[in-house]
């Protein structure tokens, strides 16, 4: 496709990346078949091809977009399902990230919306604040759910936090000969489901890896970039990189790890975030090269000692979009679960997003709920008794679906390797 950017615009490496993506698009529309919002809403402007047209016009004009354009770009999940069916290799992530930053810089949202978006971002990125609000939400949630408008919808989304027993808090034994791994705890997951990282640490220790929380790292910044706040995303990313470099200087680290696939995908993309930055691009590249998803570090168990305990389970493994589309790690989760003795069910459209997508479930509650309902219907039809996934956001989104427990893959693998029964399974 032809583009009409000025040389001044193309001097910005992010705009250049977006332009290259636009030039590759031939408008064939193959991507519409794998776009969850298009399949749900049936509007071309909510398809990748339609959004590409809107984004091209917006970026080329270098002017504030119309509210209509913003609405359709806001409705994009950034799930990257479109990337899997695009024959031209359009880098949709580069395009939509640039578009979101442009919107944040040039478009003035209505006051209430600005306030709400700032609130959501600050709360999710600040574990202490998020922890207080989820506790308050648990007490006042039933009342708040009855309220009209956004507060009522948001109250429905207040997630339950894991209640860990001592057995879930147990740390693995480690020694100096083990591979050192920097564990990035992130922000929201650490509050909602602290048992995930503990399970991953026990699981990895059995295969000779010592995963230790990386002090001072904090939030990776993915939420900020997905809401167009590039400055905050870069500030968060610099803190992560500095923390990693400082720990690596003390004693070499084998890798950095996140057990949230959404964070892992963004952490691997830091070099793109800092493209053209003389000081940070190389540091970001070095860091991203050592970043690993949990499914890349976990190893199959030779002899799962607990297999009798879960013979009767049918596990529906929902591969997060950030794992299968963004990181392009297809099949790893399924292989790990199968090797540990879990029986997997197959369900329709495993490539489609569940509607969680970071802050999306709060910002676009109707579409998010529509996608959740579709996902749960196909999982239930498969005869599953348990849902497994690799991202706390997906698990929160899918929990409570027909009383199916939603469990992180690290907790299932830890259980299979002799660890405690996952919290969501309840007590025996
Ligand atoms: S990222 Fe997902 S929601 Fe957005 S256009 Fe692509 S497939 Fe559709
Ligand atoms: S499949 Fe690729 S080339 Fe075709 S319309 Fe979609 S993004 Fe453009």
Atom 4 of ligand 1, nearest CA residue: 76
| Distance separating alpha carbons of residues 223 and 228, to the nearest angstrom | 9
Rounded distance from Cα 29 to ligand 2 centre (Å)? 5
Give the per-residue pLDDT at 300.
80
Nearest atom of ligand 2 to the alpha carbon of 85: 1
Q: Tell me if residue 291 falls in helix, strand or coil.
A: strand
Rounded distance from Cα 32 to ligand 2 centre (Å)? 8
Find where tokens 């297999």 sit.
Answer: 307
Atom 2 of ligand 1, nearest CA residue: 79
Rounded distance from Cα 83 to ligand 2 centre (Å)? 8
pLDDT tens string 94-104: 999 999 999 99
Give the per-residue pLDDT at 166.
84
Q: Which helix (H) or strand (E) holds 387?
A: strand 386-389
Nearest atom of ligand 1 to the alpha carbon of 75: 3
Residue count of the chain? 428
Mutate to test the pocket of ligand 2, among 3, 18, 28 (most ligand atoms within 8 A of CB): 28
Q: Which ligand is nearest to the CA of 89?
A: 2
| Distance separating alpha carbons of residues 336 and 301, to the nearest angstrom | 8
Nearest atom of ligand 2 to the alpha carbon of 88: 3
Give the per-residue pLDDT at 352.
97
The DSSP letter of residue 64 is: P
| Distance separating alpha carbons of residues 202 and 211, to the nearest angstrom | 9
Nearest atom of ligand 1 to the alpha carbon of 77: 3
Give the per-residue pLDDT at 135.
80
Whole-model pTM above 0.75? yes
**What angle is formed at CA 320 by the lines to CA 319 and CA 325, rounded to 5 degrees?**
95
Rounded distance from Cα 97 to ligand 1 centre (Å)? 12
Mutate to test the pocket of ligand 2, among 31, 52, 82 (most ligand atoms within 8 A of CB): 31
Are the CB atoms for 391 and 293 separated by under 8 Å?
A: no
Give the per-residue pLDDT at 307.
67
Q: Which domains does the chain have, with CATH numbers?
A: 7-106 (1.10.1060.10), 114-156 (no CATH), 166-297 (3.40.50), 307-425 (3.40.50)
| Distance separating alpha carbons of residues 360 and 40, to the nearest angstrom | 15
Rounded distance from Cα 324 to ligand 1 centre (Å)? 14
Give the pair of three-digit tokens for residue 205.
């220790």
| Distance separating alpha carbons of residues 390 and 320, to the nearest angstrom | 6
Q: Which ligand is nearest to the CA of 87?
A: 2
Query: Which of 311, 304, 319, 293 is CA-nearest to residue 387?
Result: 319
Atom 8 of ligand 2, nearest CA residue: 25
Residues flanking ligand 1, CB < 6 Å: 34-37, 48, 51, 76-82, 92
Q: Which ligand is nearest to the CA of 322?
A: 1
Q: What are residue 415's phi and psi, to 5 degrees?
A: -60, -45
Rounded distance from Cα 38 to ligand 2 centre (Å)? 14
Torsion of CA 28, 29, 33, 37, to 10 degrees: 160
Atom 2 of ligand 2, nearest CA residue: 86
Are the CB atoms for 137 and 144 separated by under 8 Å?
A: yes
Task: Write out residues in the chain with pLDDT < 70, as ranges.
Answer: 139-160, 304-309, 400-402, 428
SS3 helix, strand, coil % of the chain, rounded to 5?
55, 5, 35
| Distance separating alpha carbons of residues 198 and 413, to the nearest angstrom | 12
Give the per-residue pLDDT at 286.
98
| Distance separating alpha carbons of residues 74 and 96, to the nearest angstrom | 10
Residues flanking ligand 2, CB < 6 Å: 25-31, 48-49, 52, 86, 88, 90
**Mean pLDDT, the chain, as a whole number?**
92
Atom 1 of ligand 2, nearest CA residue: 86
pLDDT tens string 348-395: 999 999 999 999 999 999 999 999 999 999 999 999 999 999 999 999
Give the pair of three-digit tokens for residue 248.
């690596």
| Neighbouring-strand partners of residue 256 | 182, 291
Rounded distance from Cα 1 to ligand 1 centre (Å)? 19
């Amino acid at each position: 496709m032809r583009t009409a950017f000025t040389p001044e615009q193309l001097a910005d490496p992010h705009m250049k990346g977006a332009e290259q993506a636009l030039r590759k698009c031939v408008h064939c529309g193959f991507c519409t078949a794998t776009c969850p919002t298009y399949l749900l809403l049936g509007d071309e402007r909510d398809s990748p091809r339609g959004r590409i047209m809107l984004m091209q016009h917006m970026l080329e004009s270098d002017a504030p977009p119309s509210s209509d354009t913003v609405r359709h770009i806001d409705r994009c999940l950034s799930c990257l399902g479109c990337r899997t069916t695009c024959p031209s290799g359009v880098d949709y992530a580069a395009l939509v990230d640039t578009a979101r930053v442009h919107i944040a810089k040039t478009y003035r949202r209505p006051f209430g919306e600005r306030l709400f978006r700032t609130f959501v971002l600050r709360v999710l990125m600040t574990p202490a604040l998020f922890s207080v609000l989820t506790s308050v939400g648990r007490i006042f949630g039933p009342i708040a759910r009855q309220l009209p408008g956004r507060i009522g919808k948001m109250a429905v989304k207040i997630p339950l936090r894991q209640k860990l027993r001592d057995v879930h808090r147990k740390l693995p034994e480690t020694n100096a000969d083990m591979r050192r791994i920097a564990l990035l705890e992130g922000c929201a997951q650490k509050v909602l489901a602290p048992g995930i990282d503990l399970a991953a640490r026990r699981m990895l220790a059995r295969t000779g890896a010592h995963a230790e929380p990386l002090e001072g790292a904090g939030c990776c910044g993915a939420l900020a970039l997905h809401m167009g706040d590039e400055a905050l995303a870069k500030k968060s990313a610099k803190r992560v990189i500095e923390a990693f470099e400082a720990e690596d200087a003390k004693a070499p680290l084998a890798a950095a790890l996140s057990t949230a696939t959404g964070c892992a995908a963004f952490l691997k993309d830091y070099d793109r975030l800092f493209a053209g930055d003389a000081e940070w691009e190389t540091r970001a590249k070095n860091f991203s090269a050592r970043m690993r998803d949990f499914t890349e570090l976990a190893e199959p168990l030779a002899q799962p000692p607990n297999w009798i305990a879960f013979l009767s389970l049918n596990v529906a493994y929902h591969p997060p979009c950030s794992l299968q589309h963004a990181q392009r790690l297809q099949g790893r989760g399924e292989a790990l679960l199968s090797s540990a003795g879990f029986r997997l069910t197959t369900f329709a459209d495993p490539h489609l997003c569940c509607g969680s997508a970071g802050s999306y479930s709060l910002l676009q509650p109707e579409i998010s709920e529509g996608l959740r309902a579709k996902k749960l219907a196909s999982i239930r039809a498969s005869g599953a008794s348990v849902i497994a996934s690799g991202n706390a956001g997906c698990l929160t989104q899918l929990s409570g679906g027909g009383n199916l427990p939603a469990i992180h893959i690290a907790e299932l693998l830890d259980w299979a390797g002799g660890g405690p029964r996952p919290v969501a399974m309840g007590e025996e």
